[in-house]
Amino acid sequence: MLRFLAASFCVMSAVAATAVDFPIDKLDDSGFEVVLDGKSLKGWHVSTQTGHSGASMHTSGGKWVLEDGAVVGSQDIPGNGGIILTDRQFGNFEVIVEMKNDYGPDSGLFLRSNERGQAYQYMVDYHDNGNLAGIYGEGLSGGIHHRNFDFTGEVTKIKSKDSLIPCPIKAEEWPAFWKHGQWNELRARIEGNPPKITTWVNKVRFMEFTDTEKRHPDAGSIALQVHGGGDFTKQFVRYRNVRVKTLK
């Protein structure tokens, strides 16, 4: 019995030693309104006006359907993408999105987007040399592009980059932190104009950026993107349970 207890203690000690305590923020999940419930696309519309819809001569904005409670996006013809936007516009807000994309398509979560897709973008470049939770100025002046890691060939491998803040997850910790093929939580907050933008992945803060000038309207839509180019008609982005909290 003592030998069994000793062995059990050693196993538990080894598990404890290899467990990773991720730097999770204490976030307030109260006060959020569901704006994509998985039952319909009411309150959302597709724009054909972005540069990603050029392959169709701006007659379509990719393919967006409801499937198993999620909105599923893909190119409708090779090279043709677009965005799906909320009908409502938001100014200062926090948004939570659950994501389960294929590894390959380029996507994004757009903050204060217009019909042309000009927005502050939470990067969902889920592919080799891509990034999650970086901040990009989609169609905006100023060359805004901040990211603190890149994927390196496989979804389980990342490489840190110098940026505004260090990558909070070490490369060896990434496979335990990010669960490909499962639902992961993306979260962003945008306040003020010039805005301060904060991004999280699974409640771990990844990026903080404060713009230096007002270069975009105070409010806009929340949008999800399928990137143009290549042929991603048979690979898909999936988002569900989109929730928004308006901030003062």
Whole-number percent of the chain with pLDDT over 90: 91
pLDDT at residue 20 tops 90: no
**Each residue's pLDDT tens digit, 154-163:** 999 999 999 9
pLDDT at residue 123 tops 60: yes
**Each residue's pLDDT tens digit, 228-242:** 999 999 999 999 999
> Would you place residue 2 in the very low, low, confident or very high pLDDT band (cuts 50, 70, 90)?
very low
Distance CA 95, CA 115 (A): 19
**Each residue's pLDDT tens digit, 54-65:** 999 999 999 999
**Average pLDDT for 76-103:** 98
- Residues, the chain, total? 248
Q: Residue 44: beta bridge partners? A: 86
- For the chain, the average pLDDT equals 93
Distance CA 61, CA 17 (A): 49
Distance CA 243, CA 235 (A): 25
pLDDT at residue 10 tops 80: no
Assess contact for 248 and 92: CB atoms under 8 A.
Answer: yes
pTM of the full predicted structure?
0.91
Assess contact for 228 and 76: CB atoms under 8 A.
Answer: no
Measured in whole angstroms, the distance separating CA 51 from the mean position of its chain's CA atoms is 20
Q: Residue type at 204?
A: V
pLDDT at residue 24 tops 60: yes
Where do the structural domains in the chain lie, given as residue ranges?
42-184+203-216+227-246
> Would you place residue 188 in the very low, low, confident or very high pLDDT band (cuts 50, 70, 90)?
very high
